[in-house]
Amino acid sequence: MQSLRGKVAAVTGGGSGIGRALALAFAEEGMDVAIADIERDPAETVAEEVRAKGQRAFAMACDVSDRSSVGRFADFVYNNLEAAHVVCNNAGVVAGKPTPQMTHDDWDWVMGVDLYGVIYGIQAFLPRMLSQGDEGHFVNTSSITGLVPWSAPGIISYTAAKHGVVGLSEGLNLELAADKIGVTVLVPGQIRTRIGESARNRPTRTVVDPQPPATSPSSPTAAGGAQRLPVGAEMTLEPEDLASRVVGAVRAGDLYVFTHPATLDEINLRFEAIMQGYDWVDRALAREDSPEEA
Amino acid sequence: MDSLKGKVAVVTGGGSGVGQALAGALANEGMRIVVGDADIKAAEAAVADITQLGARAIASRVDIADRASVGALADLAFDEFGTVHVLCNCAREMVARPAAEMEDADWGRVISVNLDGTINVLTAFLPRLVAQGEEGHILSVSASTGLFAQQNAVANATADHAAMGLLAHLNTELQPLRIGVSVLCLSTAAGQDFEFVARLALRGIKDNQLYVFSEPSTRPQVEARLAEIRAAYSSLIRSDTR
């Protein structure tokens, strides 16, 4: 989408962190912005910052893990701003404990916000964007954890959700190109946000030891599995730096936004583990073919 | 895990397809089997085949998307046999529809079985499996939709990538506890030889192999995906040094 001026951006989790930076970056490009956040006051503060840039802005309290709440946000965007061109499914949280101790309650919150929230965003906005007939773009916030399962304990739900966001984004990108709808998935390393304080918004407030994945203690790389954080990936970037890359990616129609060059090493290791699976099956098939060993 | 003889396996989706074939293959190794399936008649038929071979097996109706139902299956297995060593989650949904035509119910069918179902099985079985302190293995079926983008498969891309990441993480977390993990990637094409896939899965369990691909022809698509990711990184590195 080359031209952003005069168009409408909608951002979930827009009250802080990456979402706030996206809202402000799109406002800077001359877009009007709708901001959803589980916390109404920070969303309204960001809306005021957008208005200070001379753009229209509206804020709404929204729990993205609730399908009907996301539906109301889409209604809110179309009622107030008449369209949606760039939809950022960004809201995210992290929490967890060792997997054998995880209850449904532990799974539900992270999966609900980090993955189902993105699905609900697609379900609520895509049909309207298609019938609107304009160029459109989805920006989905994943994480390097969406491609690389770190060995840090307590982040299995975050890892699953962020992998899901990458898969969803790649699939949509493949299918929606013909409909003039682009997709960008954010696959950042460490960004300076308040995600480590996610527990402040957990409904039941029973979180044990919330920890942002990219700063968690790590253990050595295990064959075929999760990996430790590479040197250089610990460098923390500001959300504004990520947001400016996202604006460029939306204009260019880029699928991926990465932030930390060092994380490519870890992606390579993950794919090596997958390729080892193909090598293994090739050997197993060779054994199948030799009758004396079958 | 090397030795399966005398141990206990639970196979969900065990009434038909690859689940049924795998239940038979595990029984053939001398395991006792719990066959769970949404279709109790199919589960009972699978059990009849197994018991005819002289192995012990019981059938149970289970709705993998229903937490209470999966919890009841775990209770049944541990009540009946006192232990579970191998857990095979073979229930799977596939919806082939263009992304633009997907309805909420289409998403729900895929997510509730392929992702929520996997989580339900883990939540029901893993605490007891870990507490018994013995060797174990968890196998879950997936497909190439969890590895690279394909047309008309957006809900599967979402659920299957999520389950793939989940299981890869789980593999590392459970390794010190001597519990292995396998992702059995089935073909998305019809007409797969389930007996062959079951033999492959059995070998995967014995070899403690994480990725078990029954469709080796998909390798170039995975390589192409990696190439695209690398290309995005090279433009990142160029913009950093600009």
pLDDT for res A292: 53
The answer to whether residue A225 sits within a structural domain is: yes
**Count of domains observed in chain A:** 1
pLDDT for res A231: 52
What are the chain A neighbours of B163 within 8 Å (beta carbons)?
160
- Among A115, A255, A277, the residue with its CB nearest the CB of B212 is A277
A102–chain B nearest CA distance, Å: 7
User: What is the ipTM score, two decimals?
Assistant: 0.96
| CATH number for the domain harbouring residue A98 | 3.40.50.720
pLDDT for res A223: 40
pLDDT for res B238: 66
Q: Can you tell me the mean pLDDT for A230-254?
A: 88
The answer to whether residue A12 sits within a structural domain is: yes
Q: Mean pLDDT in chain A?
A: 89
pLDDT for res B174: 95
pLDDT at B106 over 50: yes
Rounded CA-CA distance B190/B184 in Å is 16
Strand partners, A4: none
pLDDT for res A220: 34
Residues B23 and B49: beta-carbon distance below 8 Å: no
State the CB neighbour count (10 A cutoff) for residue A47: 23
Read off the tokens for A158: 């975050």
- Among A155, A175, A288, the residue with its CB nearest the CB of B154 is A175
Q: Looking only at Cα atoms, what is the longest distance across chain B? A: 71
A103–chain B nearest CA distance, Å: 6
Active-site annotation of A, residues: 158
pLDDT for res A218: 35
Strand segments, DSSP code E, in B27-178 are 32-37, 57-61, 86-89, 136-143
pLDDT at B98 over 80: yes
The whole-model pTM stands at 0.94
The answer to whether residue A281 sits within a structural domain is: no
What are the chain A neighbours of B104 within 8 Å (beta carbons)?
67, 123
pLDDT for res A289: 78
The answer to whether residue A247 sits within a structural domain is: yes
Residues A257 and A242: beta-carbon distance below 8 Å: yes
- Among A104, A261, A282, the residue with its CB nearest the CB of B216 is A282
Read off the tokens for A282: 């090739």
Using one digit for the tens of pLDDT, what is the confidence trace for B164-217? 999 999 999 999 999 999 999 998 777 789 999 999 999 999 999 999 999 899
pLDDT for res A208: 39
Using one digit for the tens of pLDDT, what is the confidence trace for A125-183? 999 999 999 999 999 999 999 999 977 778 999 999 999 999 999 999 999 989 999 99
B176–chain A nearest CA distance, Å: 11
Using one digit for the tens of pLDDT, what is the confidence trace for A100-118? 999 999 999 999 999 999 9
Q: Give me the count of residues in chain B.
A: 242
Where do the domains of chain B lie, and which CATH numbers do they carry?
A: 8-216 (3.40.50.720)
Parent domain of A174: 8-264
Rounded CA-CA distance A162/A146 in Å is 4
- Answer yes or no: do B130 and A100 touch at CB < 8 A: yes
